Structure 1
Amino acid sequence: METSTKGIGRQSLVIAAAVFMLIAAAIGAGAFGGDSVDELQNGALSAQGSYLAPAGPAFSIWSLIYLGLLAYTVWQALPAQRQDERQQAVGGWIALSMVLNGLWLVTARYLTLWLTVLVIALLLATLARIIVLLGRYPARSLADRLLTDGANGLHFGWVTIATVANTAAWLTQTVPEIGADAPDAWAVAVLVVVLVIGAASAWFTGRLAPALATAWGLSWLAIGRLTGEPESTPTAVTAIIVAVLLVVVGVVAVLRRRRLAGTRDRAPLGR
C-alpha cells in the first residue's frame, strides 16, 4: 500500500511539473503578449547574441522535446508504471527538469541574464543526473526507451549546447572585452570543450539521443555563423566537425553497449 501511494505521488508530481512547464513556457515565450524570446534581455538571447548562438530554426527542436516530455508524462501516469523501479528512481528528477525548463523562460522574460545562466546550469546538471540514473536502470520496453530515454536524452543534448550559448550571451553582454581580440579562437576553444564533454557522455552512457540533439544545435550554429552575424567561418567549420564527431561517437557507443549487453547475455552462469 505504501509503495502504491508513493508511486501515485511520483506520477502526480510529474504531471504537475509538466503542467507548470507548459504554462511557464507559454508565458515566457510571450504567448499572452510581450516580446519574443530572441528580443528578451536586449537581444542577448537571439541568434546574433554571440558567436556561439545557433540560428533561429535550431530552436524548433523544442517542439519535439516538449512533445516527448508530454508523451512521457502520460505514459508514466499509467498504472503499469506506478511501482516501476526505474520510474521511481528518475521521476522526481524528470519533474525537476520540467520545472527548471519552464522557469528558464520566465527568468529570461522577467529577471536578469545571469539568472538565466544559473537556471540553465541547474537544468543541465539535473538532466545529467537523469541520464546517469537511466544507465543504472535499463529500459525494459520500447515505449520506455523511446519516451524516457529518448525524450530526456534529446532534452539533455539540446540543453548542453543551449547552456553554452546562454553563457556566451551573458559574457558578451557583461564583459565584452573577453575574447574581443580573438573571438574566433575563443569560440573554437569552447566548441572543443563541447566535443570532449559530449563525446565522453555518449561513450560512457552509450546513448545517441543527446549527441543527435547537440549536433542539431551545432549544425545551426554553423549556419548562423556562415549566413548571419556575427560571421565566423572558423567557428562554423569547427561546429560542423564537432557535430559529425559527436554523432559518430554516439553511434559507436550504442553499438558497443549492445555488443557488451549481448556478451553478458551469452555468458555462462557463474561467470
Structure 2
Amino acid sequence: MTAVTPVDEMVVGLPEVRLRPYVDRYIGYRERADVPLVRRETAGVFVVLILGWGAPLDVTDPRSAERGVRRADSFVAGTFDGWCTTRTVGVGEGVELLLSPLTARRVLGLPLGELTNRAVSVGQLPGGWLDRLRCRLAEAPDWPRRFALLDLTLAARLAASPPVDARLDWAWRWLVGSGGRGAVGALATELGWSRRHLAARFRQEIGLPPKTAARLLRFERARAALASADAPTGTASSGRVVDWAEVAARCGYYDQSHLIRDFHQFAGATPAALLAARPTG
C-alpha cells in the first residue's frame, strides 16, 4: 500500500441549524496524488456520499469485485460490514458527507438494503439529482457557496420525504445510545416486535441486521477510544503497553480476542497495528 500523501486542502463546513440533527458536517477537499494513492477504509454503520470532480476513484471490496465501483468521481457507499480500499491518482476535489442510515434513507429515497456492502456511482441512482448536484458544486466558485448549495438541496430532500417509521427510528436511537451494548432481544421486546421482524426491518431500511449494527457501533466506539487524546498512544516497542483487555471491556466486548476479531473483519488489521501506524507528532 502506498504511503498517504497530505491533503492539499480540507475545509470543514457546518450545515445550517435545522439540518444538524441529520448532517453533522461537510468536508470539502482537494488532493493531489502523483502516484497511485491507496487507502484502507473501515466498515461502518453509516453511508458515505462523495460528490467529486477531477481524478476518479476505484472502490474495491476484497470479498467481491461486484460490490465496488471503478473510475467514479462521485459515489454512494452503503452500510458495510467489512473493510474495503480506495485507489486514485491525479488531482481530486469534492465534498464528503457521512450520513446516518435513516437520514440517508430519506435523502436518497431508497431502502438501504439496496446498497448494503455496495459502492454505486451516483449516475446509477434514480432521478439523476445527485449527478446534477455534483455539477453545480463543481461550478460554484468557493467552499461557502458549495456548502450553502448542499444546505438548500438536503433541506429540500428531507422536506419532500416522508419520515421513517417512528418505531424504527426509536430502535436505531436506542441502539446508538447503548453504544451497541444493548441486547437485540430486549430491543425487540420494547418494540413489541419479534426478533425476526426487527431483523427484517433493519436489513431493509438500514441495510444490516441489528446484531451486526450493534457490533459496528461497538467497533466505532473502540476505534474512537484508541484515537482519542487520553488513549494510550504507544506500543510496547516505544516503551508503553496498551491494556487491550481494558479497552475491550470499556467498549462492550466480551474479551480481548473478541475485540481483535472485530478489528480484523471491520478494519483489516489488529488494533495494535492500527495504533502503530497512526501518525505521531
With structure 1 as the length reference, what TM-score do the two structures score?
0.32
Structure number with greater CO (CA < 8 Å, separation at least 6) is 1
